[in-house]
Amino acid sequence: MKIAVIGTGYVGLVSGTCFAAWGHQVVCVDKDAQKIAGLKQAILPIYEPGLDELVEENMKAGRLGFTCNLAEALKGAAVVLIAVGTPARAGHGDADLSFVYMAARELAPHLEKGAVVTVKSTVPVGTGDVVEKIIGSIRPAGTFSVASNPEFLREGVAIRDFLEPDRVVIGVEDQRARKALMELYGPPLESRGTPIVVTRRRTSELIKYAANAFLATKITFINELADLCEEVGSDVGELALGMGLDKRIGSSFLNAGPGYGGSCFPKDTLALLRTAQDHGVALRLVEETVTANEARKRRMALKVMDALDGDVEGATIAVLGLTFKPDTDDMRDAPSVPLIETLQRFGANIRAYDPIGTENASRILSDVEFCHDAYECVRDADAVVVVTEWDSIRRLDLGRVKRAMRQAVLVDLRNAFSRGAAEELGFRVSAIGRPASARQETRGKYGLQAGDPRSHAGLGGGDNQAKGGRLE
């Protein structure tokens, strides 16, 4: 099947490449000539593990192409995917749909008869109706269809999520759209038994927002319980393990940390709230989730200050990890930003290290000394703060880190390190959801404990977003 993908951001580029890997003929189109020129040489505008190799492989096989010419991209295309950005509008919270509507207006004159225009961008309920009206003002009714097909990709593992999805959701209003999208997804997923949820277009649009709001709420829930654990002398890792083994709850998104960020959860929860307000519906849980998460990200700076006896004036703080989660260069709504800005307001000097995200972080943060090596970052520091649990950071030699520092203070906002091991080396440790002093770890009946990889919710697993962050 010939597919045209409008937009070459995270969603468009990953989706187009993976459809090509399934054997479809794909052309990705974008107005950014420099970006397209780079993509034609397999130079990607984003960091996503394994994507560069997959792009190059499918380009060589002749299944994947890139162009700035919209008419050329749509020629012969049976399905046209709109995968442009829908950022939150500044000061409003609702989604900015201008790029979606622009794409609809510009594609309409070039659309093949019978083509199915499918909105893959994350959009509020009713967006497909507007897209249909826009195209219908140019094309005769009945000569095209408009469908919804939200994405459920996680940055860092987006390729696997696309090729081996939990489910695929399609929203259609006619049999032509249903048939085309089932042909698009059906054959590659039949052997895996992947559920394909076919529903009305408006329900499909709402499913994405509802899923992200629920996951954001789950993260916020365990973060607030982590605060309680610190006060009553409990361990949030063990608490999450005990909760997560209940199949009704599950272990995903039960890893306490500094708050959620990224490209989807912050803007999607706000957009869902705005939609609910427009329809006179109160979503109190989501409202509290948004408020609590924003407050938490800034409160992490107070945790750092407490670790240094309440005063960071003139102190050098080494921040390890800047992106909102590992295996991405995405800095959108990253917890590191309000943490660093708050510490700077209290007079701290900030050094920072991230394996991939330094370039993007440097566009957002000012007066920060960016380092190219973690050990360089911690040299003569009064405290080291772990914000993003990259594998390379979790594998650091804590003994070497301690020897390089001025004061042996570790603030582990992802519970990336064994507290007991760090304290044995002489660190003063402040972690998330753990009592003030280390205690003997215990094993349960099945040998699982906080920190066991099988538990998915333990000492090395402060990874709310790595196993669940979404894309836009």
Which residues belong to the active site?
264
- Number of helices (H) and strands (E) in the chain: give both, helices first: 18, 14
Query: Tokens at residue 15, please?
Result: 């989706």
CA distance 37 to 173: 37
Query: Tokens at residue 183, please?
Result: 């042909």
**Residue 31 CB-density burial (10 A; 0-12 exposed, 13-18 middle, 19+ buried):** middle
- Which contiguous run of DSSP H or E holds residue 18? helix 10-21
CA distance 206 to 70: 29
Handedness of CA 399, 404, 409, 414 (dihedral sign): negative
CA distance 163 to 219: 26
Q: What are phi and psi of 393, to 5 degrees?
A: -75, -40
- Which contiguous run of DSSP H or E holds residue 349? strand 349-353
Q: Are 413 and 345 in contact (CB under 8 A)?
A: no
Dihedral in degrees, nearest 10, Cα atoms 437, 443, 445, 450? 70
- Which contiguous run of DSSP H or E holds residue 119? strand 115-119
Spatial neighbors of 286 by CB under 8 A, at least 6 apart, are: 213, 216, 217, 269, 272, 273, 276
CA distances from residue 219 to 215, 216, 226, 248 in whole angstroms, order as listed: 6, 5, 11, 16
